[in-house]
């Protein structure tokens, strides 16, 4: 086994480090450390000169570990790693010690202690470097095709965005037609155009596109594999077809809540939801003379605390629709708050009021009551502003309900190994920092599948999901930084802690040469180390952050207290 | 009970239902029963059952993994907790075991018995359960000793997870209860009440006596690792030969490894040759796991070990 | 032996090990540096990718080897770069500090704190506070008690 030969390069960083830390002392100290065969100081180790020196000394001194003591690894680590590689040294045999942000810059008034600290940090860095091992980055091919689950507005938009880049797309839709939720909607807010005007051309483009294969009346039955290489089986009419894709977009949408048990829905024939209203009247049929629309039905209540976001706009849309057909109609919108966000919807709301739609505010504590024996005849409500109860005679009651997550989201979430949130919608990796993606690589989500969203929102998200889903395909490769976990199967006892601990489902128990042991799928491993810390026997380790490496740093620091440093 | 046990085991062996049976039998020292492995009907008469069967034999079932067939084992209620955990931790399949449940009315702590009688254990020739006490024979004399004086610590807090699916029971497995003014975590709370320096001095003194024999590890059902962290050479966590200054490290690390796995069987304390009160250490771990994470090992089959689990509303004093 | 006194040769200088996660707390420490926030020089940072990498055995080992304190810094719960890591850190932290206190190790010697990438000031304040708390406690173990182990094993 070749002797470990560590080279230490201590940077002055101009005056940033050198002005506080006595760099030559640190260099001298480094030379005394076990396994260090070479040490020098540089004015700027990251400069051309500094990098050349590293490369030269690797060759000249036969260095097989490099420690640079300078700034934070978060800036120049790739630079130094590249220099090592250029000199023929595996880039994972490099260790960075931070003696600027963590030392010279924060102990400016105590050069003696700062120098002492720098020495100790270098000691720790060298101790770790000795135990670094060469690593190869895991590369996995990406199969150049994408799966879009769901053929609604979001799904179709995502499919087109992907296909227009030349990527093969498989679009799987459960119903016999494309269109999703908005097929049941007759007109769109705030433009009031016919849905068909938007939907038909979109569906035509999808069907005509040479890069998109559409599966109608089909469902995804199983998914296995990981980013770059998913095996998907799709069932159509009892026939199963296998597909291979690199990335997956979830665009399965949501459904309108049918509020059975609320406001006598299901009991009285003329109490309907917004979608049902559209179905009944917009394709012909008389407009009812007087209508009470009740908002927030089954939303913003203890059992379902969220707001459906655009159902108010839907209510306003249908209220306007009625007033335009019959200016004498009496349309009441019983609301708790009007969610008219953005410019267009606010203007839409204004218009409704101008047309004579009456907006009445009610309290969640005293909700409206639907009166009538075998038909709804009136709605009694505590008018919040007037402070008294009013009874509104009506021919029909329309209930505005939010979108709710589909029942079978659970099945799909398990198939794809992606989580659901508390309301049953798909849960993204991070609400603020990582929308559209999941923690599970290669799977993305857009549209109402993640939470109620209107058409422009769904389409924007679809474009975002398509963009993200195309990146691995364009790159052709998924490269994983070699800081992944690895299990020593000879000493693993298959207790299963690691499997539970992994946030990414990257660890499984498998039957191997040494019986049942844990196995890490490197393509899925993110290098967090949760599994390593959970392993009681130390069989699971993390490349670049192994127990041995960390312990060596602890030991190196502790040795200082028992006479290691002068 | 003992006869019934032997009958059942004889039948199991005759039918070939198990390759061997793990139980207790008389040893050369009458004051304690020892584990034994009976593979032939002719050996069945060795099997005993009584108040001297406090040991947890569960760890021995792991040998069944090397066999084609099953093993049988006699299980007190407390022992089943280890079996539940071994199954949860993928160490054995339920169908490898034929579990015989036995109603237990408390087990004798040899050290306490010695103290109560004032004689060495070697002189005890027989111990029998007599309801509220034990009939102990020393020489020619038989005395009744009240149970609360000589029970194993764990018997005072008998939990008997009745939900365990035994294959056979030798009678109704009912809880053992005793009227005794012993709090759930009495020993722990006593130490917790001390000022911190006194606690430090106490544990220092205890850990100093440790001879690093590893008996506690060998006796513990949860210590089944093919290669124990402490035996690893790369990295070496503990110096070899053992350093006195690292004794504390050994015990603290083992305690942390047992968090969420310790079933309160008391074997570690029982086998310690220098009488370190390990129960006070492991009971503390159990207490904290129960109070912090609402979790008790070995009571349910479907729960996730607490340290590889979390709740969004876990306590958070670290803000 | 230098480390028991400061540059003026007065008093006890604690030696504190700090684990900082790459995405939040290490970056927060960097920000403190960039902002030139001055702090006591007693902490030594070990970078890990996630605070969940810090196994309790590291803390126990560090304290056993005579280090005066261990500080584990991670992302705020809910913001972990790896989604869930710091939830494990939190649980381990809760259990370990109780256990350590039970065997007589002062609770100030093992602390966990959430420091985000933008909280340079919080990092500095934490270092300051923890250093002073541990300084007041004195050395964790008499130095004479902690014997060096065989070189090459670590």
Q: Please, which residues bridge with residue B142 across strands?
A: B137
Q: Return the HEC string of B252-306.
A: HHHHHHCCCCCCCCCHHHHHCCCCCCHHHHHHHHHHHHHHHHCCCCCCCCCCCCH
| Chain C residues with CB-CB distance to A21 below 8 A | none
- Give the H/E segment covering residue A43: none
* DSSP notation for B158-201: ----TT---SEESS------------TTHHHHHHHTS-HHHHHH
Query: pLDDT tens digits for C106-135?
Result: 999 999 999 988 899 999 999 999 999 999
Distances (CA, A) of A431 to A273, B295, C102: 31, 31, 40
Backbone φ and ψ for B53, nearest 5 degrees, come out as -110, 50
A546 in contact with chain C, both atoms CB, cutoff 8 A: no
Q: Which helix (H) or strand (E) holds B87?
A: helix B77-88
Q: Which of C34, C55, C143 sits opposite A562 (nearest CB)?
A: C143
CA distance C9 to C4: 8
The owner of tokens 């966990």 is C112
CB distance A111 to A25 below 8 Å: no
Instruction: Please report which helix (H) or strand (E) contains residue A292, including its range.
Output: strand A290-294
The answer to whether the CB of A298 falls within 8 A of the CB of A259 is: yes
Cα separation, A419 vs A404, in Å, equals: 16
User: CB A260: neighbour CB atoms within 10 A?
Assistant: 9
Q: What is the DSSP letter of A363?
A: -
Backbone φ and ψ of A134, nearest 5°: -65, 145
Query: What are the tens digits of pLDDT across the range B46-98?
Result: 999 999 999 999 999 999 999 999 999 999 999 999 999 999 999 999 999 99
Residue numbers in C near A120 (CB within 8 A)? 44
- The residues in A 111-170 lying below 8 A from C, measured between CB atoms, are 112-114, 116-117, 120-121, 124, 127
**pLDDT tens per residue across span B173-208:** 777 888 877 888 999 999 999 999 999 999 999 999
Q: What is the DSSP string of B112-139?
A: HHHHHHTS-GGGEEEEEEETTEEEEEET
Q: Is residue C3 pLDDT above 60, yes or no?
A: no
Which residues in C have their CB inside 8 Å of a CB on B?
A: 56-57, 60-61, 64, 76-78, 84, 87-88, 90-96, 98-106, 111-114, 141, 145-147, 149-150, 153-154
> Which are the contacts of B122, defined by CB distance < 8 A and separation ≥ 6?
B29, B31
B163 burial level (CB within 10 Å; 0-12, 13-18, 19+) = exposed
CB contacts < 8 A, A to C, total 168
* Cα distance between residue C49 and residue C58, in whole Å: 15
Assess whether the previous peptide bond of A62 is cis (omega < 30° from 0): no
pLDDT of residue C10: 57
* Contact present, A247 and A232 (Cβ < 8 Å): no
**pLDDT at A563 (0 to 100):** 63
DSSP letter assigned to residue A153: H
Chain C CB contacts of B197 under 8 Å are 104
Q: Pick from C87, C90, C149: which is nearest to B239 by CB?
A: C149
* Preceding peptide of B241 cis, ω within 30°: yes
Residue for token digits 């960075």?
A96
Q: Do A495 and B91 touch (CB under 8 A)?
A: yes
First to last CA, chain B: 57
- How much is the pLDDT for A203? 97
CA distance B316 to B194: 26
Chain B residues in contact with C153 by the CB 8 A cut-off are 233, 235-236, 239
Q: What is the mean pLDDT of residues C25-52?
A: 96
- Encode chain A (566 residues) as per-residue pLDDT tens digits: 569 999 999 999 999 999 999 999 999 999 999 999 999 999 999 999 999 999 999 999 999 999 999 999 988 898 999 999 999 999 999 999 999 999 999 999 999 999 999 999 999 999 999 999 999 998 889 999 999 999 999 999 999 999 999 999 999 999 999 999 999 898 898 888 899 999 999 999 999 999 999 999 999 999 988 889 999 999 999 999 999 999 999 999 999 999 999 999 999 999 999 999 998 876 677 778 999 999 999 999 999 999 999 999 999 999 999 999 889 999 999 999 999 998 989 999 999 999 999 999 999 999 999 999 999 999 999 988 888 999 999 999 999 999 999 999 988 988 887 878 778 999 887 666 679 998 778 999 999 999 999 999 999 999 999 999 999 999 999 878 899 999 999 999 999 999 999 998 999 999 999 999 999 999 889 899 999 999 999 999 999 999 999 999 999 999 998 765 43
Instruction: Report helix, strand or coil for A557.
Output: helix
Q: What single string gives the DSSP state of each residue in chain C?
A: --TTS-TT--S----EEEEEETTTHHHHHHHHHHTT----TTEEEEEESSGGG--HHHHHHHHHTT-SEEEEEEPPTT--TTSSHHHHHHHHHHHHHHHHHHTT--GGGEEEEE--TT-HHHHHHHHHHHHHHHHHH--SS-GGG-PPPPTT--
Which of B90, B223, B262 is the mutation pick for testing A, counting most A CBs within 10 A? B90
Direct distance between the N- and C-terminal alpha carbons of chain A, in angstroms, rounded to an integer: 32
Q: State whether C62 and A552 contact (CB < 8 Å).
A: no
Query: Would you state the pLDDT for residue C7?
Result: 44
C29 to chain A: which residues are within 8 Å by CB?
A: 101-102
DSSP-derived secondary structure for A438-493: -SSTTEEE-GGGTS---HHHHHHHHHHHHHHHHHHHHH-EEEE-S--EEE-TTT--
Q: What is the pLDDT of residue B32?
A: 80
Pairwise CB contact (< 8 Å): B235 & A501: no
Task: Identify the CA nearest to A398 among candidates A301, A300, A327, A315.
Answer: A315
The answer to whether the CB of A128 falls within 8 A of the CB of A97 is no
Q: Angle, to 10 degrees, between the axis of helix A547-559 and the axis of helix A111-130?
A: 140
- The pLDDT tens digits for B128-179 are 999 889 999 998 899 999 999 999 999 998 886 667 889 999 988 777 888 8
Query: Rounded to a whole number, what is the distance in Å from the CA of B200 to chain C's nearest CA?
Result: 4
Is B202 within 8 Å of C104 when comparing Cβ atoms? yes
Which candidate, A244, A223, A228, places its Cα nearest to that of A141?
Answer: A228
Q: Which residues is A304 bridged to in the sheet?
A: A301
pLDDT higher than 50, residue C150? no
Smallest CA-to-CA distance from A403 within A308, A263, A314, A301 is with: A308
Structure tokens, B151: 């029970």
Q: CA–CA separation, A547 vs A554, rounded Å?
A: 10
- Between CA B258 and CA A206 the distance in angstroms is 58
Residue extents of the structural domains in chain B: 1-105+156-178, 181-304
Is A287 touching C (CB cutoff 8 A)? no
Those chains having 3 or more beta-carbon pairs within 8 angstroms of chain B are A, C
**pLDDT classification of C5: cutoffs 50, 70, 90:** very low
Main-chain phi, psi angles of A399, to 5 degrees: -100, 125
Which pair of tokens denotes residue A21? 């830390």
* Residue B55 token pair: 């040991």
How does residue C8 score in pLDDT terms, banded at 50, 70 and 90? very low
pTM value is 0.78
Note the pLDDT of residue B136.
93
End-to-end, the C-alpha distance of chain C in Å comes to 22
CA A453 to mean position of chain CA atoms:
17
Residues forming a β-bridge with A490: none
Domains, chain C: 16-142 (3.40.50)
Chain B residues within an 8 Å CB radius of C52: none
Contact C73, C126 (CB under 8 A): yes
Q: Do C65 and A555 touch (CB under 8 A)?
A: yes
Beta-carbon neighbour count of residue C25 at 10 Å? Answer: 32
DSSP letter at A434? B
Distances from the Cα of A364 to the Cα of A368, A381, B103, angstroms? 9, 11, 57
Q: Does the N-terminal peptide bond of residue B235 adopt cis geometry, omega within 30 degrees of 0?
A: yes
Q: Which two tokens stand for residue B118?
A: 């004032």
Residue B119 touches chain C, beta carbons under 8 Å: no
Report how far residue C47's alpha carbon sits from residue C33's, in angstroms, rounded to the nearest whole number. 15
Please state, rounded to an integer, the average pLDDT across all residues of chain B: 93
């Amino acid at each position: 086994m070749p002797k470990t030969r560590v080279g230490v390069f201590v940077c002055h960083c101009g005056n940033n480090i050198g002005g506080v830390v006595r760099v030559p002392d640190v260099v001298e100290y480094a030379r005394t450390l076990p396994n260090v065969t070479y040490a020098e100081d540089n004015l700027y180790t990251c400069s051309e000169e500094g990098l050349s020196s590293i490369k030269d000394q690797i060759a000249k001194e036969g260095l097989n570990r490099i420690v640079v003591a300078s700034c934070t690894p978060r800036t120049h680590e790739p630079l130094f790693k590249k220099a090592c590689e250029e000199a023929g040294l595996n880039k994972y045999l490099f260790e960075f010690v931070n003696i600027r942000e963590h030392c010279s810059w924060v102990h400016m008034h105590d050069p003696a202690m700062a120098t002492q600290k720098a020495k100790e940090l270098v000691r720790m860095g060298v101790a770790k470097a000795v135990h670094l091992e060469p690593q190869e980055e895991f590369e996995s091919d990406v199969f150049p095709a994408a799966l879009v689950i769901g053929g609604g507005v979001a799904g179709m938009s995502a499919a087109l965005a992907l296909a227009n880049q030349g990527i093969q797309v498989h679009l799987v839709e459960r119903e016999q037609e494309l269109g999703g939720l908005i097929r049941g909607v007759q007109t769109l807010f705030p433009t009031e155009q016919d849905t068909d005007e938007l939907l038909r051309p979109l569906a035509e483009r999808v069907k005509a596109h040479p890069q998109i294969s559409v599966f109608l009346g089909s469902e995804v039955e199983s998914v296995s594999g990981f980013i770059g290489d998913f095996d998907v089986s799709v069932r159509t009419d009892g026939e199963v077809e296998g597909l291979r894709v690199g990335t997956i977009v979830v665009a399965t949408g949501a459904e309108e809540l049918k509020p059975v048990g609320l406001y006598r829905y299901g009991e009285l024939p003329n109490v309907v939801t917004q979608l049902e209203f559209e179905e009944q009247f917009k394709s012909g049929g008389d407009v009812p003379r007087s209508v009470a629309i009740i908002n927030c039905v089954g939303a913003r209540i203890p059992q379902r605390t969220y707001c459906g976001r655009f159902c108010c706009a839907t209510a306003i849309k249908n209220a306007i629709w009625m007033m335009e057909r019959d200016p004498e109609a009496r349309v009441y919108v019983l609301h708790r708050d009007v969610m008219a966000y953005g410019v267009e919807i606010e203007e839409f709301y204004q218009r409704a009021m101008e047309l004579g739609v009456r907006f009445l505010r009610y309290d969640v504590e005293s909700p409206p009551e639907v009166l009538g024996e075998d038909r709804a005849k009136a709605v009694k409500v505590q008018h919040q502003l007037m402070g008294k109860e009013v009874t509104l005679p009506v021919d029909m009651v329309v209930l505005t309900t939010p979108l709710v997550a589909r029942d079978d989201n659970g099945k799909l979430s398990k198939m794809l190994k992606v989580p659901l949130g508390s309301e049953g919608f798909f849960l993204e990796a991070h609400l603020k920092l990582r929308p559209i993606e999941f923690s599970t690589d290669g799977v993305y989500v857009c549209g109402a599948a993640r939470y109620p969203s209107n058409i422009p929102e769904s389409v924007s998200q679809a474009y975002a999901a398509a963009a993200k889903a195309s990146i691995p395909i364009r790159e052709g490769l998924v490269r994983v930084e070699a800081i992944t976990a690895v299990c020593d199967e000879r000493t693993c006892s298959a207790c299963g802690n690691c499997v539970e601990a992994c946030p990414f489902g990257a660890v499984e128990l498998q039957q191997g040469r040494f019986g049942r042991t844990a196995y890490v799928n490197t393509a899925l491993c993110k290098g967090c180390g949760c599994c390593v810390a959970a392993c009681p026997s130390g069989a699971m380790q993390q490349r670049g952050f192994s127990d041995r490496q960390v312990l060596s740093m602890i030991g190196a620091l502790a040795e200082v207290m028992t006479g290691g440093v002068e | 009970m003992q006869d019934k046990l032997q009958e059942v085991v004889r039948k199991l062996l005759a039918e070939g239902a198990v390759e061997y049976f793990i139980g207790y039998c008389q040893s050369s020292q009458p004051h304690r029963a020892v584990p034994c492995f009976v593979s032939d009907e002719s050996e069945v008469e060795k099997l005993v059952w009584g108040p001297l069967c406090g040991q947890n034999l569960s760890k021995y079932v792991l040998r069944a993994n090397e066999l084609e067939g099953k093993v049988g084992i006699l299980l007190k209620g407390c022992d089943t907790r280890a079996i539940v955990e071994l199954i949860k931790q993928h160490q054995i399949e339920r169908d490898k075991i034929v579990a015989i449940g036995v109603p237990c009315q408390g087990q004798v702590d040899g050290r306490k018995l010695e103290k109560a009688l004032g004689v060495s254990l070697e002189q005890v020739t027989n111990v029998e359960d007599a309801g509220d006490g034990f009939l102990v024979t020393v020489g020619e004399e038989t005395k009744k000793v009240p149970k609360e004086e000589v029970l194993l610590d764990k018997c005072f807090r008998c939990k008997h997870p009745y939900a365990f699916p035994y294959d056979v029971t030798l009678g109704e497995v009912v809880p053992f209860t005793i009227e005794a003014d012993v709090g759930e975590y009495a020993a722990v709370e006593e130490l917790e009440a001390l000022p911190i320096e006194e606690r430090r001095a106490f544990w220092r003194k205890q850990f100093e006596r440790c001879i690093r024999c590893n008996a506690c590890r060998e006796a513990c059902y949860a210590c089944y690792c093919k290669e124990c962290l402490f035996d690893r050479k790369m990295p070496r966590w503990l110096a070899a030969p053992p350093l006195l200054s690292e004794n504390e490290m050994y015990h603290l690390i083992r305690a942390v490894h047992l968090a969420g796995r310790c079933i309160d069987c008391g074997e570690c304390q029982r086998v310690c040759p220098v009488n370190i009160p390990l129960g006070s250490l492991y009971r503390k771990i159990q207490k904290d796991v129960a109070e912090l994470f609402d979790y008790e090992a070995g009571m349910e089959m479907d729960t996730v070990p607490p340290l590889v689990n979390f709740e969004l509303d876990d306590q958070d004093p670290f803000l | 032996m230098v480390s028991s006194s400061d540059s003026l040769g007065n008093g006890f200088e604690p030696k504190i090990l700090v684990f900082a996660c790459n995405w939040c707390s290490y970056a927060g420490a960097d920000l403190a540096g960039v902002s030139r926030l001055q702090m006591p020089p007693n902490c030594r940072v070990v970078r890990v990718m996630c605070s969940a990498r810090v196994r309790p055995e590291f803390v126990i080992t560090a304290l056993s080897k005579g280090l005066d304190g261990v500080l584990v810094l991670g992302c705020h719960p809910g913001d972990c770069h790896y989604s869930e890591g710091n939830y494990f850190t939190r649980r381990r932290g809760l259990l370990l500090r109780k256990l350590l206190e039970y065997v007589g190790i002062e609770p100030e010697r093992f602390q966990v704190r959430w420091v985000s990438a933008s909280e340079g000031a919080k990092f500095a304040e934490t270092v300051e506070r923890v250093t002073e708390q541990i300084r007041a406690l004195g050395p964790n173990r008499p130095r004479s008690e902690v014997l060096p182990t065989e070189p090459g094993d670590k």
